[in-house]
Structure 1
Amino acid sequence: MRILLIQPMMNMRPMDTRLKTRMSPSLALLTLLRLTPEGNEVILINENLQPLDFDNPADLVGITVTLDVMPRACRIAEEFQRRGIPVVAGGIHITACPEECLPHFDAVCVGPAERVWARMVQDAAGKQLNRIYRDMENFRGEELASPLYGGIDTSPYLYSNVITTSHGCPNRCDFCYNSCKNRLYVRRPIPDVLSDIKDLKTRHILFIDDNFIGDASYTRLLLQELRGMNLKWSAAVTTKILDFPELLDLMEKTGCQSLFIGFETLNNSALQGVHKDNRFERYEALIKAIHDRGIMINASLVFGLDGDGPEVFPRTLDWLVKNRIETMTAHILTPYPGTELYRRMEAEGRITQRDLSQYNTAHVVFAPRDMTAEELYNGYLWMYRRFYAFRSILRRMPQMKKQRMSYLLFNLLYRKFGRLTAILAWLVSMGALGRWAARLSYRIR
């Protein structure tokens, strides 16, 4: 069979540039490439890189679906189905809301694809597709397949050195997909993770787990194995990392450069309202512990939580600058369908927008409780403008000289002048640009 695996065009947020659309390849599609039985021809198509030709001959189409690309995925499916080609879909949105998604596709995959993808391909070949494929009971981390990293040309991507050590998260914050009914949390065998690192043939690694420290004992064993590998790496953790100083020590020793942390808000009552296990009074001790070890911080923030009014924006900006937070990723609170937050807001009649293309954390799709929708949206944009203004960049400059190059590259070339940098990428490949940045930042060749 000839199979097309498609990543739909992403919906860019106001601060995004072409750099965002070409950040890294889809690990989901690379994993399907690994899982496809021999004897089938597989073509990977990323709409962010190339236009989609609906007359491209195929026997089966597979689409990976995140929430905000769902409308585009439906249009893609409709076009291929009109040509008599079956279309199957999977991904985080499909897993969260399979019943709502099913009418748009010939079949859907709920949860991990490792146990079901080969069966879907076989059933499609025999024209006997079932409607729903789901096999998650007692799913083990040992079953998680490695992406086929060498299966595509990575030069169009800024980074292709992305690895997962786990799937899911043990926490169940109301606004996160991990509060959905079909989510799992499993850890990959450490030898598999080490094998992926070796396959990538680079010292610069981006771990993209939902929560790199979801199982502290596992993380400790992994970090011990990373010692001596001379890596430079980044990951996402929760504020609970403060409870594990020995992990922070190991992170420093193994080459951790930055940590993405979900601070979300400075308001404890707002945190409690979404069952986020953070406490504001611990934040500054956490920041000091991380900075003392020469590690930078990317603060993830959510605006629009119940209890946060318009004053949250200047207060948060002042706090970020005071604590020299190196980078910030801000989000407008978005009630993803399938989450506990969505169920609650739906019951309260607070959902104001049904167009899923707007659900990319850059639009107000619900009725805020403590500010107007306009105040929330304008405050969100104001935060980005002020945080990445020259004055703020200078005031937040890391005290450790070794961090300044990577700090300036991100704050200036990626955020402040991202559109100019994206134009530069037309002259050189994204991959070359990423390698150049790593070389300047970390002396990685």
Structure 2
Amino acid sequence: MENSIILQRLLRRGRNEKLIKQDRVKKRKKILMITAENKEINSFRKKQFNNFIQITMPYLAGFIDESKYDIVLIDEYNQRIPYDNHFDLVAITVNTPNAVHCYKIAENFKQQGSKVVMGGPHVTLLPEEAMSYCDYIIVGEAEETWPKFLEDFYNDCAKEKYMCDDIPSLRGLPIPKRNLVKKRFLTKGAVIATRGCPYKCSYCNLKQIYCDSFRTRPIEEVIEDIKNIRSKYFVFWDDNFFGDIEYAKKLMIELRKLKKKWAAQVTLERCQDEELLKIAKEAGCIYFFVGLESFSQEGLNSVNKGINNVDKYKKIINLIHHNGISIQAGIIFGLDTDTKDIFKETLIACNELGIDGATVSILTPLPRTPIYEQMKNEGRLNTTDWTYYNGKTRVAFKPKNMTEDELYEGYIWFRKQFYSIKSIWRRLRVSKANILYNLAMNLGYKLSI
């Protein structure tokens, strides 16, 4: 009898331990996902009113099984990191100018007992550096490695490093969890349709952070994603929306039915196709972001941007404006051929061509890019403090034909002059595209400056 009682107790204890173990497995873990932004960049960006969200974290959140994880999404653009809360896992996407800031965030959470995983451009460029500041890293594109890591972490068997070994397909991607994005409305609509770029500009790190293959997402899936955006306005977050012209045309024909307004990044030489421009306008396009970079052909050639032909700028830009689409020009100062005259020459050219808006940057030699290696070999890098590599508030290298101060002061002078009332008036008179929208955007930039 006594042996029977003991046996029953042992069986009950075994069942209880099994139930406790199962309950532990079923318990959801808390994950904090951070789009980091240091104070210096945040102060610069907050003055500009048309900043769309960084889509990475809402997109990666779409892969997460919410029966296993409670998700908190924080974007430092307009939110504070909840250091006082406990999280099982903290995920941080790291770009180069925010790397030092991200490492400090990771240190803080690790001291509190949280595990930290990092991914993004800087982690992919310098994985060994990043690994010394966190528990896990995800290198390269994450469509296959991120879900695998999440499953392994949930089951307490995560590895330190997850590498992208195969080229991920863009088929079957999840809809970004935009409901997790707070304090945004008009600027939470960002969409991925393609990935990669056919070109190899020496200052660009796309070839180092992505698999070298231009890919497209199934059109029906892109359209479904766009339908998920409540706002009338959105942007394509692609590096080169016209990388495959026939695909772009088919997508935009379907997009016409949604009657939304949008912008996309394209290369100027692809805009010589008037049928493409007409379809884009009918589909709701109001803006192209175009990487003009420079009005010096010698400067463009020096950074392997020979696809831009300065002699054709006027003809192609007129064609874009004629089709009712505005141009936000990407402009870079500090190329090796630039002299102190470049700032005034660029302003004159922008006014004459009716460039609607400009995103102006200081040349930034990002790690592992050809221009970084060149400047490193020439002893022209000022620092490896990645905070200097933001292209907006600091100069990270020694220019060839001017001092660092002259480059920075010329860059600031151009921004102020470009968004002066005189320049705004001249440019809008030439462009005549989306006048009211352009006026509001230009005045917004003027107030920020």
TM-score after normalising by structure 1: 0.88
State the 1:399 CA deviation: 5.5
| Correspondence for 2:222 among 177, 181, 193 | 193
One-letter amino acid of the counterpart of residue 162, structure 1: A
> Judging changes above 3 Å, is the alpha-carbon distance between structure 1 residues 400 and 387 closer, same or farther for their aligned structure 2 residues?
closer
Q: Which runs of 5 or more residues in structure 2 are unaligned?
A: 1-28
Cross-structure match for 2:3 = none
Instruction: Choose which of 247, 255, 269 in structure 2 pairs with 1:240.
Output: 269
Alpha-carbon separation, structure 2, partners of 1:168 and 1:96 = 16
Partner of 1:350: 380
Deviations 1:390-410, CA, capped at 9 Å, x for gaps: 111111124576722111111
Q: Report if the CA contact (8 A) 1:31-1:145 is conserved.
A: yes
Counterparts of 1:89 and 1:21 in 2: how far apart (Å)? 29
Residue matched to 1:77: 106
Determine whether 1:329 maps to 2:359. Answer: yes
For residues 185-242 of structure 1, what are the alpha-carbon distances to aligned partners after superposition, in whole Å with 9 as ceiling and x for unaligned?
Answer: 3211111110011111343222121111111121121122123432222111111223
Shift of 1:15: 8.7
Contact 2:94/2:118 (8 A) holds in 1? yes
* Stretch moving more, 236-245 or 357-366: 236-245
Partners of 2:160 and 2:216 in 1: CA distance:
29
Q: Percent identity over the alignment?
A: 33
Residue 18 (structure 1) aligned with residue 18 (structure 2): no
Give CA-to-partner distance per residue, 1:55-97, whole Å, 9 cap, x none.
3111111001111111110001111112222100111221222
Q: Tell me how far apart the structure 2 counterparts of residues 392 and 27 of structure 1 sit (CA, whole Å).
A: 33
Cα 1:143–1:12, aligned 2, differ >3 Å: closer, same or farther? Answer: farther
Q: Deviation at 1:136? A: 4.1
- For the 8 Å contact 2:139–2:162, the answer to whether it is kept is yes
Indicate conservation of the 8 Å contact 1:10/1:21, yes or no. no
Q: Which residue of 2 aligns with 1:366?
A: 397
> How big is the shift at 1:245?
2.3
User: What secondary structure sits across from 2:114 in the alignment?
Assistant: coil
Aligned partner of 1:50 in structure 2 is 79
2:233 is matched with 204
Aligned ranges 1:414-425 → 2 under 5 Å: 414-418=444-448
- State the match for 1:297 in structure 2: 327
Larger RCO, structures 1/2 (Cα 8 Å, 6+ apart): 1
Higher mean alpha-carbon deviation, 139-148 vs 275-284, is at: 139-148
| Distance in 2 separating the partners of 1:71 and 1:168 | 27
Distance in 2, Cα, partners of 1:12 & 1:119: 35
Change (3 A) 1:402 1:366: closer
Asked if 1:218 corresponds to 2:253, the answer is: no
Cα drift, residue 108 of structure 1: 0.9
| Per-residue Cα deviation, 1:320-354 (whole angstroms, up to 9, x for no partner) | 01111111111100001121211221122111122
Question: What TM-score, normalized to structure 2?
Answer: 0.87
Paired amino acid for 1:310:
K
- Look up the match of 1:168: 196
1:338 paired residue number? 368
Aligned to 1:439: none
Distance 1:15 1:321 in 2: 28
Residue among 394, 418, 435 paired with 1:404: 435
Letter in 2 for 1:219: A
Q: Which runs of 5+ in 1 are unaligned?
A: 420-445
Change (3 A) 1:230 1:65: same
Aligned length: 417
Distance in 2 separating the partners of 1:3 and 1:57:
9
**In 2, Cα distance between equivalents of 1:118 and 1:380:** 43
CA distance in 2, matches of 1:320, 1:107: 46
Instruction: Confirm whether residue 375 of structure 1 aligns to residue 406 of structure 2.
Output: yes
The offset of 1:244, in angstroms, is 2.2
CA distance in 1, matches of 2:222, 2:197: 17
| Aligned mate of 1:3, from 16, 31, 48 | 31
Shift of the 156–2 alpha-carbon distance from structure 1 to 2, 3 Å rule, reads same
Residue 303 of structure 1: how far off its partner (Å): 0.5
Deviations 1:268-315 (A, max 9, x none): 121111111211111111111111111111111011111111111100
Matches of 1:282 and 1:302, distance apart in 2: 19
Amino acid in structure 1 at the alignment position of 2:311: E
In structure 2, the partner of 1:433 is none
After superposition, the Cα gap between the structure-2 partners of 1:226 and 1:261, relative to the gap in structure 1 and judged at 3 Å, is same
Residue 278, structure 1, aligned to residue 308, structure 2: yes
CA contact (8 A) 1:114 1:143 kept: no
Rounded to whole Å, the distance in 1 between the matches of 2:273 and 2:403 is 40
Asked if 1:34 corresponds to 2:66, the answer is no
Structure of higher CA gyration radius: 2
Distance 1:15 1:126, change over 3 A: closer
SS of equivalent to 2:358: strand
How far off its partner does 1:145 sit? 3.2
CA RMSD in angstroms comes to 2.1
Please say if residues 22 and 156 of structure 1, whose CA atoms lie closer than 8 Å, have aligned partners that are also in contact: no
